[in-house]
Structure 1
Amino acid sequence: MDFATQLLHVMTDPDFACDIRYRDVPRISDQELGALLPAAYTVSFSAGRSARVIGSAVRGEGRERQPRYTTEACRRMFEALVAQLKERLGADLAFGASAVVRCTGPLPDLADLARTLVDFGVQKGDMRQPYALLAVAGLAGDKVLRRAAERLCRDQGPIAVDEIVVLAGLDVDPVDRALLAETERDGSFNAPPPLPDLWRRIAGIPAYAAFAHRALTAAVDRADAIHAGEIPYRADKAFTAREVVVLGHAARVALLRDEPWLPELLDRLLPRIALAPTAARTLPSQALLYELVRAGQDFPTPELVTAIRTVRTAVRHAGVPKQLDKMLKKLEAALAERAEVALRLPMSGFEADGVLRREAGDCTAVVTVTETAELTWHKDGRPLRGVPAAVRRDHGGLVKELRDLVKRVAVQLSTLARALEGGFTVEAVHPYGWWRTELAGHPLARSVVRRLIWEIEVAPGEWRAVLPEAGDLPVAPDDASVRLWHPVRSEPATVRAWRDLLIERRIRQPFKQAFREIYLLTPAEEETRVYSNRFAAHLVHYRRMFALFRSRGWSSDLLGPWDGGSEDEAVRTLAAGQWQVRFFHSLADGTHDHELAATDQVRFSRHKDGAWREAPLADVPAMVFSEAMRDVDLFVGVTSIAADPDWSDRGPERAYWERASFAELTESAEARRDALERILPRLKIADRCSLDGRFLVVRGDLRTYRIHIGSSNILMEPDNAYLCIVPARPKGGGTVFLPFEDDRLSLILSKAFLLAADTAITDESIRRQIERGA
């Protein structure tokens, strides 16, 4: 008797005896899971302990994986739903819809069973799963489908009614109709996770794609009517709750399809739902505004990001901008993962050299895009210090327009940089002809693209690295491949050469590339095999780390003093959905304000056979491993209390602080040291500075100081006394050129300049510390 058959007997035969453990259940295949779920669903509350335990385990697998149903298993699921109507006083129709969607053979005749389920639900008035109800009703015949549709149409609003009519149409396939049930989780506690390609399949239904355009257009028309006074204004009542859900679905379909009509439509819709037609600080539909942003988080476009940022500056409600800021962080992080649209930038009127000129009387406004966008004013060919008074008086609208343009371009360039950086783990490759024209030659994108190192396949298998800012592009066919260069694919000597060139040419990259950290598997990680402790056992400022999770595209539940709130795992999906990294963390023991967390293991999973399967670290692609561990290093390095100079005299955590503040350098700190090695000889204080292992040593007139390159904390010679310097805000190293943005490197340099001239220090607290042992 095979293992799946044994599980079936445990759940259905009270007399069956077998030694099966809860943790053995994940061994079953997806098809065996589909065969077992009907039995697991019917395990009663009064069944024996073994049946209840195994039934719970099988249902748990069903919540995490993608079961596959044979024709017979699909029928048995519907029989199980009907059999449980009385005992459970209802049926989870999402189970039925999910069985239809995942049926691997011809659909069985389910008409009688479906009719029983729909009749029961309609009589009870249970409308919590409208899509699942329609999907099941469609299996029972036209009459039952029409009756269910009529019941669902009550008080839902015309846009929602239009969707129901579309889904109830005879030209919609029963499986397509069931797809929409995958989007609703309310009322279903055991249904499987949505299909990985769910929205792509929904967007491929012609009738639903046409509905999406119609629904969003109707939303604009209604918002216009409210602002025109044709419909009475009521705060947040422009659309019914059901219409908000439906419009969110329509937006996802249009965003995924990247419909050409969508940007202009959203430019009209978003301001009208975010601003009241009166001077009130309320919104016509705060719910729809947030739902459209959530749709953008699923399928972002650069045009939507720009539109939301524009609305964010205009909305009058006090709390909405703050909420939009939080949502925009996640949206922009998601856009970085959708490279096929994120690399698209509008021309915005700029000339080929990245300059836009606008006349304002006898003055000229010049917007220049280099590392970012900058607005300057000129008169008679000479630059002016600020905006001329006459321009402010007579051309105020133009001034505001150009300032908004500068902000918008800055956002677009930042988004482009994040999208390019996000392409590392998917090994993004572009056609050379398109890349040369649309990126390297684009008036705006060129400022980002030309400061990055690229590899061009000049011949099959022969890649040539090039930095456009430092030289001409090679000759290659338009269909040749182009990809971003990454140090993990290069020899150390090549990496050193690129780093030297950046310093020599004073080229500041939009993100760390040549100086990018590389994380390779360590002997300790080979020993632990499926997890890494490289960044475990650190104490971190939890709220800061939680904010970094969101900004870097990781998902995590907030820790706190509630059930299950003491520990969690931050998760990020990489490599176009093929790999997942999990970073475990928990509230630190002995802390009462829930401000500190303790870090733990890092694990990886691969998406295989419709589910996430934990994978050995050795199986993780080098690029994926390095980029994931780089994020974790960032989380720990930035938020560790070891980097807090004011922590030295606080509480029982001091032992960790003393140990970690001057510990061996991590890969990110090693990259910082490498940059310092190249920067120091060019500094005015070069003769007072040297590198000694993990420290930058600075010789002052009163003392010699050792600045830790990881934490930026300082020890003073000769007695290794700690020197506490808490800057009012992060400071750069004056006019020192840095090849990449790094707040910690800037802080180290600012401390070095300060301490090299220690006799000129005027801060009393710092002077007292220095003079105490000098």
Structure 2
Amino acid sequence: MPLDSTRAAALRARLEGAPVDHARFTGPPVDVTGWTPQELGVVWGALHRAAGFGHGDPERRALAMTLLEQVASLDLAPALEGEVFLDALAAAHVRDWDYAVGCLACLHGAPPAGSAPLALRILGESKHWREQHFAAWLLARLAGGDAPARFAQEMEKDHAQSPMPLSLQELMVLPQLAQASLLALAGSRYSGHWNRDSIGKPDPAEVLADDAPYIEFARTILESAARHIAAIHEGSVPYAADAAFSRHDSPVLARAARLASYRDEAWFGPVIATLLPLVCVAPGKANSAPSQSLAMALGHAVETIPTPESLLALRTALEQVRHAGIRKKLERNLKPAERALAERPDIAWRVGMPGPMGKRRQAMLARRLEAGYASDVWLPLAQWRALLGDADIDAVARALIWRGSDGVDGVAFMLDGQGAIDARGQPLALPEQGGIGLWHPLHGGAEERAAWQALVTRRRLRQPVRQTYREVYLPPDDGSEPFAGHWLSVRTLLGLARREGWRLDDEEGLSRQFGAWRVTLLLEGRIYPGAEGACTSGALVAQERVASRWQPVAPGQMAPVAYSEACRAVDLLVSASAFALVEEEACAQRQQRLAYLSSLETGPMVGMRRAVLAQVFAQQIGAGRMALEARHLMVGRHAIHLATGRVTLDGAAVAVDVPGPAKAGKLGAVPWLPHDEALLEKIAGLAGQLLKG
């Protein structure tokens, strides 16, 4: 076999040589940084053979695994051709689909002679080909002979009885597709089932969106599916619960829907407006549905890459659905879909957006604007001006503060009549160039925020988005973790997290994307879907998307608005599910109390804590020095959260030091109180200190 470099030859010899007697004799460390694709190709097969089992050399396997991890972290790929390709493919085990497809993806030129028997060996028995049928199709084509015909027979046997055998129709399109499309389908583990956990991963539909034959196929099957479901509701096709489409065909339709959304096809709006709502509800009054699998798959598709029309279809489906399980799933798709649409401003804010005029549409538009905060969405000036011709958008826009991109920091303004005003109510010329974005309190200093708050209050404006009094969060100067140290009710936490678009990581906690950043709230405890009991909140961990990979960053390195919005979302989770503070030393009696409190609803706990505080501070409340709100104890302009003890001043977090006496004496456990006594003590101490200040 030709070797392209001395270091590649040396590594290959080391990977394929005889086992050594001692780990010290394995050779010097190897670093593949800077290796060419051709050099990696030379050792690719040897690396994967050494990384497997059966050779009885753990040191060799450890070396291979380390190098493969480094290759993945550096996003490197080998160049395979001729004998190098055959050597790499020979390293694949039977039904080693992912590795074999990876070799095909790295193939330069035509497959060399000798590829067919290797592909046939990897295929194994035909009864397993349906496991990853796109990969099996590629390998069957490479194997030649009767393999393609046998593959077609297996798929026919598996899918022919479907109501609409769309999987078979999709397979008939494969010979017309470009190699990039075939590799995208075969190389993605999400081709067969795309769900919420798939979002953020490479989507085959995004590659297929550039392939004309698949685009036409997608339109054909979606329009056919819409006609089929309409016929069921009209009565011309008999209805049977959950039988309109097979579980094999739902992913095909969902992939077609995502492709249409990526391309923002004009024909897609009417199709999804029919298909999604009707597939969620049975004709008549039954609580069943024509296809649960398709309803959920389309919900995930809308969340992944929404359009205004598909988001409206999702809302319509939620209004009509009677099946409790489908409703629960679709509700989880709604808010993330709104946020995802806000990150497509060219589509989200086009003229002629769907939906009946009125307050509900205005609220939807406001949420879409708010969802764009973390991504720092800008609208071209001409587009923004054109949108004001929509009565609902104009009504929303006139109650909000905007900023122009012209200048270093931009200029903040509100619409007023035919012109604009600044924070002090003075006339201001509207920007004449650049972009327009939604103003965030962090875009201005404390003085500007106070001026806008005064103006909005003076004019008695009811803003559709919490803007002037929006909570703001800054990275702590002392390096502390602002949300750590709380006992959280797992049931409450997970229920809210799912609705807000957080994803559960069994090993870490809850994660969610905010623009170009992904934030994870670390949790300690047994956290899994359906879990009960309690867990504790920990630190925030951030990652930044660089190209196609996530790179760790300190949370404070995030864009200020993105960090603030992420913390605001975390605060919602913690505030809604917190019921006690974590103490360094807790006695057995307190641990028993915490176990009991974790089984209670957090809302009544806050209510009881409010009632206790109302009695404790009755005199101060009566004198107007304090006020109790639904979830806060107000001391002047300061707000103390009744679930966490967090203190804010006009929305911004502030640190309040409670001196010694309040810290020294801990309240004893009071078994009849349905709330955490230590947290109540903290709130009382903070309130007392603020009264003194």
TM tier, smaller: 0.7 to 0.9
* Partner Cα separation in structure 2 for residue 20 and residue 185 of structure 1: 43
Distance verdict in 2 for CA 1:631–1:40, change over 3 Å: farther
Whether contact under 8 Å (1:79, 1:113) holds in the other structure is no
Show CA shifts across 1:432-476 (max 9, x none).
1211221x442112333222211124x554722102268823555
Query: Among residues 116, 119, 137, which one is paired with 1:117 in the alignment?
Result: 119
Matched letter for residue 71 of structure 1: A
Instruction: Establish whether residue 570 from structure 1 lines up as the match of residue 570 from structure 2.
Output: no
Instruction: Establish whether residue 554 from structure 1 lines up as the match of residue 502 from structure 2.
Output: yes
* Partner Cα separation in structure 2 for residue 155 and residue 588 of structure 1: 40
Instruction: Establish whether residue 620 from structure 1 lines up as the match of residue 625 from structure 2.
Output: no
Distance verdict in 2 for CA 1:70–1:510, change over 3 Å: same
Q: Give the corresponding residue for 1:50.
A: 59
Query: Among residues 273, 281, 297, which one is paired with 1:267 in the alignment?
Result: 273
Instruction: Establish whether residue 184 from structure 1 lines up as the match of residue 194 from structure 2.
Output: no
Give, in angstroms, the shift of residue 299 of structure 1.
1.1
Structure 2 unaligned regions, length at least 5: 421-427, 596-620, 646-657, 675-682, 688-693
Distance verdict in 2 for CA 1:238–1:5, change over 3 Å: farther
* Partner Cα separation in structure 2 for residue 232 and residue 30 of structure 1: 62
Whether contact under 8 Å (2:97, 2:135) holds in the other structure is yes
Matched letter for residue 603 of structure 1: V
Distance verdict in 2 for CA 1:347–1:186, change over 3 Å: closer
Whether contact under 8 Å (2:419, 2:429) holds in the other structure is no
* Partner Cα separation in structure 2 for residue 230 and residue 37 of structure 1: 58
Name the SS of the counterpart of 2:181 in structure 1.
helix
* Partner Cα separation in structure 2 for residue 346 and residue 193 of structure 1: 28
Normalised by the size of structure 2, how large is the TM-score? 0.73
Q: Give the corresponding residue for 2:423.
A: none
RMSD of aligned alpha carbons: 4.7
Query: Among residues 624, 639, 642, which one is paired with 1:711 in the alignment?
Result: 642
Show CA shifts across 1:552-580 (max 9, x none).
332114xxxxxxx5x532222232xx322
Whether contact under 8 Å (1:555, 1:571) holds in the other structure is yes
Whether contact under 8 Å (2:116, 2:144) holds in the other structure is no
Q: Give the corresponding residue for 2:486.
A: 538
* Partner Cα separation in structure 2 for residue 452 and residue 346 of structure 1: 21
Query: Among residues 370, 377, 380, which one is paired with 1:428 in the alignment?
Result: 377
Query: Among residues 437, 444, 448, which one is paired with 2:392 in the alignment?
Result: 444
Query: Among residues 293, 301, 305, which one is paired with 1:295 in the alignment?
Result: 301
User: Residues 48-127 of structure 1: matches in 2 within 5 Å?
Assistant: 48-57=57-66, 67-72=75-80, 76=84, 79-85=87-93, 90-101=94-105, 103=106, 106-107=108-109, 109-110=111-112, 112-114=114-116, 116-118=118-120, 121=123, 123-126=125-128, 127=130
Matched letter for residue 135 of structure 1: L
Distance verdict in 2 for CA 1:321–1:195, change over 3 Å: closer
Q: Give the corresponding residue for 1:392.
A: none
Matched letter for residue 52 of structure 1: R
Q: Give the corresponding residue for 1:160.
A: 167
Q: Give the corresponding residue for 1:134.
A: 137
Whether contact under 8 Å (1:111, 1:139) holds in the other structure is no
Distance verdict in 2 for CA 1:632–1:95, change over 3 Å: same
Whether contact under 8 Å (2:82, 2:111) holds in the other structure is no
Matched letter for residue 93 of structure 1: W
Q: Give the corresponding residue for 2:650.
A: none
* Partner Cα separation in structure 2 for residue 505 and residue 20 of structure 1: 80
Query: Among residues 465, 468, 478, which one is paired with 2:415 in the alignment?
Result: 468
User: Residues 598-609 of structure 1: matches in 2 within 5 Å?
Assistant: 598-608=536-546
Instruction: Establish whether residue 494 from structure 1 lines up as the match of residue 448 from structure 2.
Output: yes
Whether contact under 8 Å (1:339, 1:420) holds in the other structure is no
User: Residues 26-425 of structure 1: matches in 2 within 5 Å?
Assistant: 38-42=45-49, 43-46=51-54, 47-57=56-66, 67-72=75-80, 76=84, 79-85=87-93, 90-101=94-105, 103=106, 106-107=108-109, 109-110=111-112, 112-114=114-116, 116-118=118-120, 121=123, 123-126=125-128, 127-139=130-142, 148-149=151-152, 151-156=154-159, 157-169=164-176, 172-185=177-190, 196=202, 198-227=204-233, 231-277=237-283, 280-344=286-350, 369=358, 373=359, 410=360, 412-425=361-374
Structure 1 unaligned regions, length at least 5: 351-355, 357-368, 374-409, 526-531, 558-564, 658-684, 699-705, 729-747, 753-774
Name the SS of the counterpart of 1:125 in structure 2.
helix
Matched letter for residue 486 of structure 1: H
Matched letter for residue 417 of structure 1: A
* Partner Cα separation in structure 2 for residue 464 and residue 524 of structure 1: 32
Give, in angstroms, the shift of residue 522 of structure 1.
3.3
Name the SS of the counterpart of 2:498 in structure 1.
helix
* Partner Cα separation in structure 1 for residue 346 and residue 462 of structure 2: 26
* Partner Cα separation in structure 2 for residue 420 and residue 603 of structure 1: 26
Distance verdict in 2 for CA 1:499–1:435, change over 3 Å: same
Whether contact under 8 Å (1:4, 1:28) holds in the other structure is no
Matched letter for residue 573 of structure 1: Q
Q: Give the corresponding residue for 1:394.
A: none
* Partner Cα separation in structure 1 for residue 111 and residue 46 of structure 2: 20
* Partner Cα separation in structure 1 for residue 316 and residue 147 of structure 2: 47
* Partner Cα separation in structure 1 for residue 280 and residue 153 of structure 2: 32
Matched letter for residue 318 of structure 2: R
* Partner Cα separation in structure 2 for residue 626 and residue 316 of structure 1: 38
Name the SS of the counterpart of 2:252 in structure 1.
helix
Distance verdict in 2 for CA 1:203–1:513, change over 3 Å: same
Whether contact under 8 Å (2:503, 2:512) holds in the other structure is yes
Name the SS of the counterpart of 1:604 in structure 2.
strand
Name the SS of the counterpart of 2:473 in structure 1.
coil
Give, in angstroms, the shift of residue 208 of structure 1.
0.9
Matched letter for residue 688 of structure 1: G
Whether contact under 8 Å (2:32, 2:70) holds in the other structure is no
Show CA shifts across 1:735-759 (max 9, x none).
xxxxxxxxxxxxx9xxx9xxxxxxx
Give, in angstroms, the shift of residue 428 of structure 1.
1.3
* Partner Cα separation in structure 2 for residue 53 and residue 160 of structure 1: 41
Show CA shifts across 1:141-168 (max 9, x none).
6986566455434442542222111112
Show CA shifts across 1:625-675 (max 9, x none).
33323322332233221499xxx9995169999xxxxxxxxxxxxxxxxxx
Give, in angstroms, the shift of residue 34 of structure 1.
6.4
Q: Give the corresponding residue for 1:667.
A: none
Give, in angstroms, the shift of residue 213 of structure 1.
0.2
Whether contact under 8 Å (1:333, 1:552) holds in the other structure is no
Q: Give the corresponding residue for 1:677.
A: none
Give, in angstroms, the shift of residue 216 of structure 1.
0.6
* Partner Cα separation in structure 1 for residue 355 and residue 251 of structure 2: 37
Whether contact under 8 Å (1:451, 1:469) holds in the other structure is no
Matched letter for residue 410 of structure 2: W
* Partner Cα separation in structure 2 for residue 306 and residue 20 of structure 1: 66
* Partner Cα separation in structure 1 for residue 215 and residue 35 of structure 2: 31
* Partner Cα separation in structure 1 for residue 262 and residue 499 of structure 2: 23
Give, in angstroms, the shift of residue 57 of structure 1.
4.8
* Partner Cα separation in structure 1 for residue 229 and residue 382 of structure 2: 43
* Partner Cα separation in structure 2 for residue 237 and residue 187 of structure 1: 19
Give, in angstroms, the shift of residue 298 of structure 1.
0.9
* Partner Cα separation in structure 2 for residue 520 and residue 612 of structure 1: 23
Matched letter for residue 416 of structure 1: L
Instruction: Establish whether residue 629 from structure 1 lines up as the match of residue 567 from structure 2.
Output: yes
